[in-house]
Amino acid sequence: MPQQLNQEERLMRWARERESLFLALQRASIPEKLVAYKQLEKRILKETRTAQERQVIQRRISMDLLVATSDGSWRGFSPYLRRAERLGYASMFDRLLACVLAAQASKQSPVGRTKATALITDIERRTRGRKLHPGVREEIDGALSRARRILGINTIKAGAHSSASPTSLSARKRRPSK
């Protein structure tokens, strides 16, 4: 490189490279995408200067790999989901994307459906009771609804359709009728 690039400039350059690769691979097979992303990651990681840069690149490439493998089988997708979980998600939006992609990739896989359902539950737990901007709340609710729809899970939240608690319902059933 002719001159030293600062961290922000390096991250922007790498983002453009990832974007170009994404566009170039739109019609490629999953194995071709995997090879290309792994090569890009290897090359970029050689250029990183800090642990933070390394972590950012690994997380971003990890999300790219999830997108690339989500149209395939659960068996091909799940190692990259485990990698994303191990590296940690950069944001709630990455977590949401992983959840929807897991639901999509879980077709015909009971293990995948269980994992995707667990991801939905985890996001609900993390966001329950938090004051969020209405647009962010809408984004979260929309993504979770999509994941549930893909999985064929009831989209009505527990308790939303009935004001009575389960205890009061079971108590009514035990009362003798007159």
- Give the model confidence (pLDDT) of 130-174 as tens digits: 999 999 999 999 999 999 999 998 755 543 433 333 333 334 344
pLDDT at 175: 43
Closest CA to 152 of 101, 93, 104, 98: 104
- Provide the phi-psi class of 159: left if phi over 0, else alpha when psi is between -120 and 50, else beta: left
- pLDDT level of residue 5 (50, 70, 90 thresholds): low
pLDDT at 77: 97
Amino acid letter, residue 79: P
CA atoms of 15 and 18, how far apart (whole Å): 5
Mean pLDDT computed over 81-102: 97
Give yes or no for a contact between 28 and 62, defined as CB atoms under 8 angstroms apart: no
pLDDT at residue 66 is higher than 90:
yes
Q: At 136, which helix (H) or strand (E)? A: helix 134-151
pLDDT at residue 22 is higher than 90:
yes
- pLDDT level of residue 6 (50, 70, 90 thresholds): confident
In sign, the C-alpha dihedral spanning 64, 127, 116, 84 is positive
Q: pTM of the full predicted structure?
A: 0.80
pLDDT at 127: 94
